[in-house]
Structure 1
């Protein structure tokens, strides 16, 4: 008798929790553009995400912020390197990174956030683009091509331009942090049913 009552109470609690989750998904006002500050092009409110996925959404958000920091550091680093005689084209590459990587990472953040908060179908595209980006971030943290200052170039930079070496090291660490955060989010999101 006691186990029947316990199962009944547990089932009622689960049904109520699922009902509350459905209600919260339906009450999100996606037309309330409130993020990022000053620009306000998307709706973002971490409180509207189910508690078990808030850490995932925060890691996606932090990844997009870190990519913005990375691209700014890359511009500064490549500008200094150009001032010391490296190819000036590195600055152009840095600005190309700024105007391509930031929107892509922001799209991934928003796609993951909206997929977790309301529409798991959006996570299909998120998963594949996130895998591609993780492979890119790993590659960019290693190579010395175009305007990337990967681990391969650190010994050269520390020998001839120590300040640029420190900036390049920070760039590579930021990319590895983005890989870790994105990988964590992808791992947690992968099992959500579309």
Structure 2
């Protein structure tokens, strides 16, 4: 009995390893066939940590999907920056705990700028190489981002000023007028972010393909 269990486990491990090697080989073949210089690091400007060129995506619909995904990433980064600025102004105005909340806002900006760029890159590279496995990374992370944007557009607390923050802002004895205005402004931005994010998610999912198997006859 133990021998049978051990044999089954060994077979599973070997099968997983073989499948992993096949997927890696498929991806390398697809990248080679695309004739894209993935080591030409040009994005983001000045930082240059990855390669991005919209012309690498041959299909017009897929290219449009990548464009919208990139726009959504840049919009969200801008909203995080706006959140940092608003929290900074409130902290300077003497509102309680806003100094600590500013640190939260900066951390959120850093985390999203990195993880969001990783997700966007997977969408771009997946559509450029017709690798559905890569686009899956984007789709999974983008769902989480959209949920985050939706919540941020609603909640009131810490460094978030969603639609429900209006009363808290209007009742404040410091910078009340600014805080109410900023609540409407930032909430609108988060709302636009999750709407455009949902559009980008739909477009990438719609254009997702996985033709790498055809290179090897799978």
Range class of TM-score, shorter chain? 0.7 to 0.9
Is there any run of 5+ residues in structure 1 with no aligned partner, and where?
Answer: 1-21
**Closer/same/farther in 2, CA of residues 68 and 23 from structure 1, 3 Å limit:** closer
Is there any run of 5+ residues in structure 2 with no aligned partner, and where?
Answer: 1-29, 211-218
The size of the alignment, in residue pairs, is 173
Within-5 A mapping of 1:60-75? 60-75=69-84
Within-5 A mapping of 1:1-194? 26-49=34-57, 50-82=59-91, 83-87=93-97, 88-118=99-129, 119-158=131-170, 160=172, 161-191=176-206, 192-194=208-210
3-state secondary structure, aligned to 2:157 = coil
**Closer/same/farther in 2, CA of residues 184 and 107 from structure 1, 3 Å limit:** same
**Pair member with larger Rg:** 2
**Closer/same/farther in 2, CA of residues 96 and 23 from structure 1, 3 Å limit:** closer
CA RMSD, 1 decimal? 2.1
Q: TM-score, normalised by structure 1?
A: 0.80
Tell me the distance in 2 between the aligned counterparts of 1:95 and 1:48: 33
Q: Is the 8 A contact 1:120 1:193 kept in 2?
A: yes
